[in-house]
């Protein structure tokens, strides 16, 4: 079956039979004549299947309460176990604390050389410590090393107070940012990860947060790969032992309490591709390291991440009516990457659903539909389709001619 109206052309990918396009549109909730919302942020792609389910090599057997591995470029979950079980994050909490400090730095609310006066509350905070003294002046740069390299709870509270005035106010900002990022099962009570019955998250939320951190703030990732830091004549090693085990690992954070077990969010960059792994509830430090390395290796060795299209490489060349151009490219506003089992990139099947008919004038950036990306009959994700170029309205006779032609289409 064919569909002349759509005039679909996927120049870079194979396509399902075009006849299913309009038939699928109502079922997918796509309404003809959709118009863009000015200033709106594109919706996150709907990830339907964890791509690991399509791999011939199964995920490794891990000894942890919950775990997840995610490709940072595509944002796709590769595989997981108990991804939505609420768990204690322990010092993995400091990922959000650091995120808010980085955001304050980028928005000029803090500077790295700014001095912070250490409060009595920060000095008294229990748990792992940077060993800062009450009343002393410590720079934001030094405190970040204390938080990230040494996992110092005292340094974390000092930075929380510098950003928000108090740790309670900072915790409110943490929850506000969690909601903004769509961390649906996360609630923070403090900046450090000290145990509290309502201080909870999931490995899915931790993976999303970690991916957002490395994508938005790559300029600060060097803190996470620093192996040691000396402050007040006390040298402490980074607790992430993968920094010594695997040279491609450059972060991110460990966590441990008696009730949470041993936790580790790790990330590695190999041949330009970044993967994030999350392990919580391991029985020992060595177990979290071993599990994380297994998960990273499996994710890199058995999956590819490929770019399908972007704002210069359209997903669809679509027919335009009553316009000065007969076709227009439809695609994504940012590069669209997809993670698939190794070697299966050419088998990805895209199907587009978009407004029929497309009538000029069309404005660049107008959302007109979606493209679904499937592999082995399973939907991996959906992406919005945007008009990539302006198309001006044709003259009077051109519009009339196309109106007549449409009557016979």
- DSSP secondary structure string for all residues of 83-115: TT--B--GGGGHHHHHHHHHHHHHTTSS-TT-E
- Residue 406 tokens read as 């449409």
Count CA atoms closer than 13 A to 231's CA, side-chain side. 24
Decide: 320 and 326 in contact? Cβ < 8 Å. yes
Identify the pLDDT of residue 48.
Answer: 57
Identify the pLDDT of residue 333.
Answer: 86
Decide: 59 and 302 in contact? Cβ < 8 Å. no
Exposure pattern of 253-269 as b/e (b: 16+ CB <10 Å)?
bbbbbeebbbbbbbbbe
- Residue 271 tokens read as 């041949």
Examine the domain organization and report whether 282 and 396 are in the same domain. Answer: no
Between CA 260 and CA 264, with CA 261 as vertex, the angle to 5 degrees is: 95
Residues whose CB falls within 8 Å of the CB of residue 161, separated by 6 or more in sequence, listed in order? 116, 119, 121, 122, 167, 170
Residue where a domain terminates, one of 281, 305, 329:
305
Q: Find the CATH number of the domain harbouring 372.
A: 2.60.410.10
Examine the domain organization and report whether 105 and 31 are in the same domain. Answer: no
Phi then psi dihedrals of residue 344, to 5 deg:
-100, 5
Examine the domain organization and report whether 352 and 386 are in the same domain. Answer: yes
Examine the domain organization and report whether 297 and 315 are in the same domain. Answer: no
Examine the domain organization and report whether 82 and 230 are in the same domain. Answer: yes
Q: Find the domain containing 195 and state its range.
A: 61-305
In a domain, 251, yes or no: yes
Residue where a domain terminates, one of 305, 331, 346:
305
Residue where a domain terminates, one of 251, 273, 305:
305
Identify the pLDDT of residue 5.
Answer: 32
Identify the pLDDT of residue 312.
Answer: 80
Identify the pLDDT of residue 35.
Answer: 29
Identify the pLDDT of residue 403.
Answer: 86
Examine the domain organization and report whether 219 and 357 are in the same domain. Answer: no
- Residue 366 tokens read as 């107008």
- Residue 248 tokens read as 């491609």
Q: For the chain, what is the domain count?
A: 2
Q: What is the pLDDT of residues 109-130, one digit of tens each?
A: 999 999 999 999 999 999 999 9
How crowded is residue 107: how many other Cβ atoms within 10 Å of its Cβ?
Answer: 8
Helix, strand, or coil (residue 118) = coil
How crowded is residue 12: how many other Cβ atoms within 10 Å of its Cβ?
Answer: 12
Q: What is the pLDDT along the chain (409 residues), one digit of tens a residue?
A: 222 333 333 333 333 323 233 323 322 222 223 323 233 333 444 445 689 999 999 999 999 999 999 999 999 999 999 999 999 999 999 999 999 999 999 999 999 999 999 999 999 999 999 999 999 999 999 999 999 999 999 999 999 999 999 999 999 999 999 999 999 999 999 999 999 999 999 999 999 999 999 999 999 999 999 999 999 999 999 999 999 999 999 999 999 999 999 999 999 999 999 999 999 999 999 999 999 999 999 999 999 999 988 878 888 899 998 889 999 999 988 889 999 999 999 999 989 999 889 999 999 999 999 999 999 889 998 999 999 999 998 888 878 887 888 787 7
Count CA atoms closer than 13 A to 153's CA, side-chain side. 17
Examine the domain organization and report whether 37 and 84 are in the same domain. Answer: no
Distances from the Cα of 360 to the Cα of 11, 155, 294, 330, 390, angstroms: 23, 58, 53, 14, 9
Whether the bond into 361 is cis, omega within 30 of 0: yes
Give CA–CA dist 12/169, Å, rounded.
50
Examine the domain organization and report whether 240 and 376 are in the same domain. Answer: no
Q: What is the pLDDT of residues 288-324, one digit of tens each?
A: 999 999 999 999 999 999 998 887 888 889 999 888 9
Count CA atoms closer than 13 A to 300's CA, side-chain side. 19
- Catalytic positions, written as ranges: 91, 94, 151
Strand partners, 338: 306
pTM of the model: 0.84
Give CA–CA dist 97/223, Å, rounded.
14
Which secondary structure element, helix H or strand E, spans residue 146, and what is its range?
A: helix 140-148
Examine the domain organization and report whether 94 and 127 are in the same domain. Answer: yes
Helix, strand, or coil (residue 398) = helix
């Amino acid at each position: 079956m064919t569909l002349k109206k759509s005039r679909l052309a996927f120049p870079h990918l194979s396509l399902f039979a075009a006849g299913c396009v309009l038939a699928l549109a109502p079922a997918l909730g796509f309404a003809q004549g959709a118009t863009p919302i000015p200033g709106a942020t594109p919706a996150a792609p709907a990830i339907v299947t964890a791509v690991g389910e399509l791999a011939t090599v199964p995920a490794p057997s891990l000894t942890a309460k919950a775990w997840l591995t995610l490709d940072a470029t595509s944002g796709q979950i590769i595989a997981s176990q108990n991804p939505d079980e609420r768990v204690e994050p322990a010092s993995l909490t400091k990922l959000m604390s650091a995120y808010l400090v980085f955001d304050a730095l980028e928005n000029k609310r803090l500077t790295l050389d700014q001095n912070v006066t250490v409060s009595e509350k920060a000095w008294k905070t229990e748990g792992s410590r940077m060993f800062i003294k009450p009343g002393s002046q410590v720079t934001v740069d030094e405190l970040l090393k204390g938080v990230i390299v040494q996992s110092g709870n005292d340094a974390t509270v000092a930075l929380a107070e510098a950003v928000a005035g108090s740790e309670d106010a900072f915790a409110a900002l943490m929850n506000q940012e969690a909601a903004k990022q769509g961390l649906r099962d996360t609630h923070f009570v403090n900046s450090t990860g000290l145990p509290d019955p309502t201080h909870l998250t999931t490995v899915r939320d931790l993976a999303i947060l970690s991916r957002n951190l490395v994508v938005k703030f790559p300029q600060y990732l060097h803190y996470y790969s620093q192996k040691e830091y000396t402050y007040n004549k006390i040298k402490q090693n980074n607790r992430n032992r993968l920094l010594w085990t695997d040279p491609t690992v450059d972060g991110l954070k460990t966590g441990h309490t008696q009730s949470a077990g041993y936790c580790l969010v790790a990330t590695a960059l190999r041949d330009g591709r970044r993967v994030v792994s999350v392990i919580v509830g391991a029985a020992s430090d060595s177990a979290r390291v071993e599990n994380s390395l297994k998960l990273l290796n499996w994710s890199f060795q058995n999956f590819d991440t490929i770019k399908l299209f972007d704002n210069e490489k359209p997903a669809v060349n679509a027919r335009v009516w009553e316009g000065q151009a007969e076709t227009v490219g439809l695609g994504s506003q940012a590069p669209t990457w997809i993670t698939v089992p190794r070697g299966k990139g050419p088998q990805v099947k895209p199907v587009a659903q978009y407004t029929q008919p497309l009538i000029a004038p069309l404005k660049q950036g107008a959302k007109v539909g979606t493209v679904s990306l499937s592999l082995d009959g399973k939907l991996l994700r959906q992406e919005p389709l945007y008009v990539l170029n302006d198309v001006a309205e044709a003259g009077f006779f051109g519009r009339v001619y196309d109106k007549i032609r449409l009557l016979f289409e």
